[in-house]
Structure 1
């Protein structure tokens, strides 16, 4: 492992980004403090320093937010598709114009290296550009009943006020991936960003205001008490749609609450992604893909390769090459030049990774690189490769959410497909082979919503993102993403 001195973020650029940021609640077009007047701290995970505080919203604030969204819904639903499209397009351009500032803000609040943060900003902006184009293409159709007696007119309408809940690991992109289609469809929103990383969402609000989004369409409540805030929204009788990205356990709880009001739901939940390297794979391509699939956002991604299965003929060479690549990565503050791997987001995330590695080693895994947390401030963990991980190791059955690659060898195709599918989750999977028949056969056999073939990256705004089994319901992005925010209405008319 390479480490470098941890730089602080008390630079002029960082101070300017923070000083220009609104840190209150955004309700009906106005910035305000919470009803209680309370605030909570945001900590830089690279330095463990408090960088700012934000308003701590409660149930009373939540009610004001959902009432504002409800009051604005009828007028917003009537707005011209081109009007909504142009707001999204302007917001896209504003985000790209501020790419460096937004990237620095993101790095400050959650740790990912600046280069990766810039990539997320561009990825986030692309959702607005994509859905700006979808807004003017919401369609319907007209047919005739089989007996010829009636016309069937089918149209699409906004589902209504939406509850949007975003995670901490991709704080800007997960916001735009939900807000973009809601705006395009004509839905008003209440948004609760993750309490660990609310700053990117607050910056996004200012951008949307500047882009011309009307008052009441987007209302944001930051909080340390998500149960009270989200519970008030789901129980209000006003909200008609819930879109959540986060853990399966929380998602199940939210589904139970949403069911009380028969709300539409989109759930992007946990993952336990397999990455399969067959004996005929291009080894260099497979290692590149594994690095990409494992190390994006320090491994803190639901699409991260959690279980790496390598054919026995390649397992040793693959593991050694992967260890060389991960061991050469520079660990440090994401704001420092040359950093490849930033900190994990909070102490309990670091403790979890450390515990999973200790469990795997105790059950026979060999540490090829890493396997430790560096000394000093910050929630850092060394990029780690473990070979010979036992099937009963805890990390084979839960998300690692850290920079740890668990490598297991296999012999046959049937064996590895069974191992890959032996999980309640089914978000993403990756396979590396030069055999086209095998690629289709295994890709179809994997019980996942997304497959990366000879690539470690599956996320793209033009593609339908989502999983099966315990990994969620619905899809975000692509041509199907806007459908999650639309209701289908049918009108019957007699033919005269």
Structure 2
């Protein structure tokens, strides 16, 4: 049966809603394409070189994203620094009131923000709404806790916080962090990710701006803007979320400065299986692990399995992989009516056709090197519209024993591709789980929790789960990384506020070049 778009979810309808909600942030369409404005020097401005942005859902052009040059970015940073000085003197009660006003406005547009994420980054409807809700609920918790967090006399940083984040969680990572930074008394600057989320972030920042919050939103290439957004003297701290290549460049640029920073980078998060028998429990965790095609920093794409358990593991695992649902996130049956639920998918497209091609090449490279294909999914039968461009979609694949020289052996794929490594000893288990020189999370499936706890001590991951996955966490839960997966101060709960304020004993927990400290009870 032919599929169609759910009523009211087309891009033209979605964009019209965004423009109606925040008209100040959009330019008039030219040749049928709308161009976004940049929020710089305290107002929305039609500046920059327009560059078309395509959706991974079907590869059509969504909007034009205007890229700024370095000098315009410098002017924006200078203005943000001036507003920071005034905002830092604003009483906490007023800061809380304005942040609450922004939260109320964002809540009123929650479904619009979620639908924008569906089109811009291909996130299925349920997961897109969860991204928005997680941001709003998390910041409301900070509003209730901020008086306690600042009670020891902590003050804002000497300059605004510069935020450079990846495209996969625009609301629950980027906007959430900005609102907490604002609550703590800092002006904020955000760089729009080039690959996706620009319209959602534009609408969100328009609502922040209306609430009287000193936020700046600029777009442009990392090459053109990084020097300004990282090294400008006015910047009080740099928050980066992304891959190791770009994160390494940011860290190198900060090497000779004393600037606060928190740089979250990728790591090959691994799940070890040793002396284990609770397969139904593990199956439920692994099914959920495929959400958003594993395009997140806390996904688990590597399974290190005791040789004696490989057959039992595969009996559980392969049916899970075959049950994964993916396709066009808004495609419904002809009989669909308004009010009916939107598709319940585990994931849609990857972020771009280029990323999908890169991932396929990595799989082919591993296969040529001797990896064994245990499962290679197909696009055939997935819910797509007739004639739809599917170049950004990748079906799940599972490879056994990737060769040591393949990229899949040491780096996360950031897509629905899993690798399985078989080991005979606990020393091998730990070595293979630590293959990427540091990770954000790791987990051990082991019936003997005492044995698992002993093994966990030698895992180079910030959080280790025993018979359960770990994630960034919310509210009071800290987050960070070990080894090359993280540089600088840890965040989350009190640690996030401490990272963007000064005062008290001013001790920072983090992964720094000369020492590593962990907060209590990690």
TM over 0.5: yes
Quick check: 2:157–2:236 contact (8 Å CA) kept in 1?
Answer: no
The corresponding residue for 1:47 is 58
CA deviation after TM superposition for structure 1 residue 155, in Å? 4.6
Find the partner of 1:112 among 118, 123, 126: 123
In structure 2, do the counterparts of structure 1 residues 202 and 359 end up closer, same or farther at CA, with 3 Å as the change threshold? Answer: same
Matched, 1:302 2:308: no
After superposition, residues 243-258 of structure 1 pair within 5 angstroms as 243-258=239-254
Quick check: 1:73–1:188 contact (8 Å CA) kept in 2?
Answer: yes
Could you tell me how far apart the structure 2 residues matched to 1:171 and 1:136 are? 27
The corresponding residue for 2:19 is 19
The corresponding residue for 2:446 is 433
Could you tell me how far apart the structure 2 residues matched to 1:156 and 1:4 are? 59
* CA distances 1:8-38 after superposition (whole Å, capped 9, x unpaired): 963664243343352210123311112x4x2
Find the partner of 1:383 among 380, 396, 408: 396
Find the partner of 2:327 among 332, 349, 355: 332
Find the partner of 1:221 among 214, 218, 222: 218
Find the partner of 2:267 among 263, 271, 279: 271
After superposition, residues 461-476 of structure 1 pair within 5 angstroms as 461-462=474-475, 463-473=477-487, 474-476=489-491
Q: Which runs of 5+ in 2 are unaligned?
A: 26-35, 332-342, 381-386, 507-522
Quick check: 1:156–1:489 contact (8 Å CA) kept in 2?
Answer: no
The corresponding residue for 2:416 is 403
In structure 2, do the counterparts of structure 1 residues 388 and 230 end up closer, same or farther at CA, with 3 Å as the change threshold? Answer: closer
Matched, 1:64 2:60: no
In structure 2, do the counterparts of structure 1 residues 4 and 270 end up closer, same or farther at CA, with 3 Å as the change threshold? Answer: farther
- SS in structure 1 opposite 2:503? strand
Could you tell me how far apart the structure 1 residues matched to 2:418 and 2:505 are? 51
The corresponding residue for 2:384 is none
- SS in structure 1 opposite 2:253? helix
CA deviation after TM superposition for structure 1 residue 111, in Å? 0.5
Could you tell me how far apart the structure 2 residues matched to 1:333 and 1:399 are? 24
* CA distances 1:296-339 after superposition (whole Å, capped 9, x unpaired): 32111121112111222332232243222222222211223243
Deviates more, 1:53-62 or 1:466-475: 53-62
CA deviation after TM superposition for structure 1 residue 385, in Å? 2.2
In structure 2, do the counterparts of structure 1 residues 489 and 388 end up closer, same or farther at CA, with 3 Å as the change threshold? Answer: closer
* CA distances 1:73-127 after superposition (whole Å, capped 9, x unpaired): 2221111222222333333343333322111100100111111111111112233
- SS in structure 1 opposite 2:202? helix
The corresponding residue for 1:448 is 461
Quick check: 2:155–2:185 contact (8 Å CA) kept in 1?
Answer: no
Q: Which runs of 5+ in 1 are unaligned?
A: 142-153, 492-496
In structure 2, do the counterparts of structure 1 residues 89 and 74 end up closer, same or farther at CA, with 3 Å as the change threshold? Answer: same
Could you tell me how far apart the structure 2 residues matched to 1:372 and 1:363 are? 22
- SS in structure 2 opposite 1:220? strand
Could you tell me how far apart the structure 2 residues matched to 1:412 and 1:175 are? 41
In structure 2, do the counterparts of structure 1 residues 423 and 490 end up closer, same or farther at CA, with 3 Å as the change threshold? Answer: closer
CA deviation after TM superposition for structure 1 residue 70, in Å? 1.0
CA deviation after TM superposition for structure 1 residue 259, in Å? 3.4
Matched, 1:190 2:189: yes
CA deviation after TM superposition for structure 1 residue 480, in Å? 0.9
Quick check: 2:401–2:421 contact (8 Å CA) kept in 1?
Answer: yes
Find the partner of 2:111 among 100, 106, 111: 100
Could you tell me how far apart the structure 1 residues matched to 2:378 and 2:405 are? 22
Could you tell me how far apart the structure 2 residues matched to 1:487 and 1:65 are? 24
Deviates more, 1:444-453 or 1:129-138: 129-138
The corresponding residue for 1:151 is none
Quick check: 2:154–2:501 contact (8 Å CA) kept in 1?
Answer: no
Aligned residues: 470
Quick check: 2:442–2:469 contact (8 Å CA) kept in 1?
Answer: no
Quick check: 1:112–1:334 contact (8 Å CA) kept in 2?
Answer: yes
Quick check: 2:56–2:349 contact (8 Å CA) kept in 1?
Answer: yes
CA deviation after TM superposition for structure 1 residue 167, in Å? 0.5
The corresponding residue for 1:147 is none
- The RMSD of aligned alpha carbons is 2.5
Quick check: 1:272–1:307 contact (8 Å CA) kept in 2?
Answer: yes
- SS in structure 1 opposite 2:147? helix
The corresponding residue for 2:285 is 289
After superposition, residues 228-243 of structure 1 pair within 5 angstroms as 228-243=224-239
CA deviation after TM superposition for structure 1 residue 407, in Å? 1.6
Could you tell me how far apart the structure 2 residues matched to 1:59 and 1:442 are? 49
CA deviation after TM superposition for structure 1 residue 354, in Å? 0.5
**TM-score normalised by length of structure 2:** 0.84
Could you tell me how far apart the structure 2 residues matched to 1:279 and 1:391 are? 25
Matched, 1:91 2:102: yes
Quick check: 1:4–1:332 contact (8 Å CA) kept in 2?
Answer: no
CA deviation after TM superposition for structure 1 residue 400, in Å? 0.5
The corresponding residue for 1:494 is none
Quick check: 2:52–2:65 contact (8 Å CA) kept in 1?
Answer: yes
- SS in structure 2 opposite 1:285? helix
The corresponding residue for 2:435 is 422
* CA distances 1:352-379 after superposition (whole Å, capped 9, x unpaired): 2111211222233333333556696130
The corresponding residue for 1:200 is 200
- SS in structure 2 opposite 1:172? helix
